Amino acid sequence: MQRSIFFSRNNFVERFGLEISVLLAFIVKLILSFTTIGTNDSATWYGFLSYLSEYDGISLYRHIGSFNHPPFMIHVLQVMGFLRSSTGISFYFWLRLPAILADIGSVIIVARLLKLYLGPRFSRANLVLLALAPASVMISGFHGNTDPVMIFFLLLAVYSLDQKSNVWLAGIAFGMSMNIKVMPIIFLPALLLYLPSNTKRILFLMLAGATFVVCGLPYTLQDPLFIGMRLFGYGSNYGDWGLSRLLALLATNSAGFQTLNLAFAQFGKWIMLALIVGESIWMNRTLQKPPLFLQFGLIAFTFMAITPGFGVQYLAWLVPWVSIGIEMAFFYYVASGVFLFFVYTAWSREIPWFFADSFKLFGPLMYIEILCWISVVIVLCMYYNRVKVYLRNPSQ
C-alpha cells in the first residue's frame, strides 16, 4: 500500500517544516517585541540610554553601579537610541530585535554543525525543535536582554574552528561574543586546549583581544582597570537557583547548613570555574578531541548546574547545545519553557504579558524552578556520557 501524501517522504511539511518553524517563531517574537515592554531588564537598558543622553559612556560605569556590560554595548545603545528617534518605533523593540535575528543565525549555524557531527543520523527535527524552543521565544521576544546575541557569536566561533579551521574568524567572533557579555570566558580554556598549536592560540587571543578593545573604544582605553573590575567583579543573585537555592532553604531550617551555605556563596564561583577547567583538560587530553560544539555544551550545562548566581535569561545559553540530541532537546525545552512561562506570567500579573516586574520566586514558582534545575542536571549527565563515549570511540 502506498503511503498517504501526509506521510510521504517528500511531503510539504517534512521539506519545509524547518523554514515554517523559523518563520513562525520569528513572527511570534516580533509580535511580543512590538506589543510589550518586557522585564525589568528592558527598563534598566532604557535607563542606561536615558543617562547616556546627558552624560558620556565612562560616567555610566562610574556612576551607575548596575552597568556591568562591555564598552561596546554603549555604542549599541546609542544606535538603538538613534533608531528610536528616527523611526518612532519603541526602544524596547530595537532592544530585542538583535536577539530575534541572532536566533535565526544560530539555527543556520547549528544546522551546518549538526550535519558535520551527526552525518547520516542528522534529522531536521533537531533544528525544528531548536527554532521553536520556548526559552528562545520568550527570552528573545519578551525578556529584553542580549544573551541570544552573545550565543550567536559563540556559535560562530565554534563553526569557524570546527568546520572551517579559520582561527582568524574564530578570534573575531569570540571577541564579539565578549563584547556582548563576558560570560564566554568560561569556554576559553577548552577552546585554547582544542587549538593544535601555540601559534594558533596566540593568534586567537590577539584577535579576540583586539576585537574587544577596538570595538569598545574609546572607553577601553579611558579607564581599563575600573571597567575590568566592573565587568569581572559582577555576581548574579545568589539563592535563586539550583544548589544555592537548596542550600539557602536548608540553612533556614538547620544551623549545620548555614556554614555550608555561606561557604558556597563565597567560593561557589571558584569551585565551578575549577571544575570547568578540569573538564576542559579532560576533554582535550588526547589527539582525538571531541568537537568543540560538544565541549561547549558540556561546559554550558556544567555552569548552569553549579552556578551560585542566576538570572532567568541565562536559560537561553543552553538552547543550542541540546540540539545535538532529540531526547535531551525535547526534555530541556519543555522544562525551561514551563518554568519561564509561569515566571513571566507571575511577574506580569496577567496574560497577555506587558511588563514583568520581577521579584524573588517563592511558593509553587520556587518548586517549578527546582524542577527546571533538575532537568539541567539530568541533561548534564547525558552530555557527560556523550562526551565520554566519544573519547572512547570517536567514530561513534
CA distance 214 to 179: 10
Res 17 pLDDT > 60: yes
SS3 82: helix
* Cα 219 from chain centroid (whole Å): 25
Owner of C-alpha cell 554550558 = 300
16 pLDDT band, cuts 50/70/90, is confident
Calculate the average pLDDT of the chain: 90
Res 10 pLDDT > 60: no
Alpha-carbon Rg of the chain, whole angstroms? 21
The pLDDT assigned to 3 comes to 44
pTM of the model: 0.92
Task: Specify whether the CB–CB gap between 70 and 180 falls below 8 A.
Answer: yes
Write out pLDDT tens, residues 173-224: 999 999 999 999 999 999 999 999 999 999 999 999 999 999 999 998 988 8
Q: Which residues contact 82 (CB under 8 A, 6 or more apart)?
A: none
Res 14 pLDDT > 70: no
Most distant pair of Cα atoms in the chain: their distance: 74
The residue among 114, 125, 161, 156 whose CA lies nearest residue 18 is 125
Write out pLDDT tens, residues 49-92: 999 988 888 888 888 888 899 999 999 999 999 999 999 999 99
CA distance 295 to 154: 13
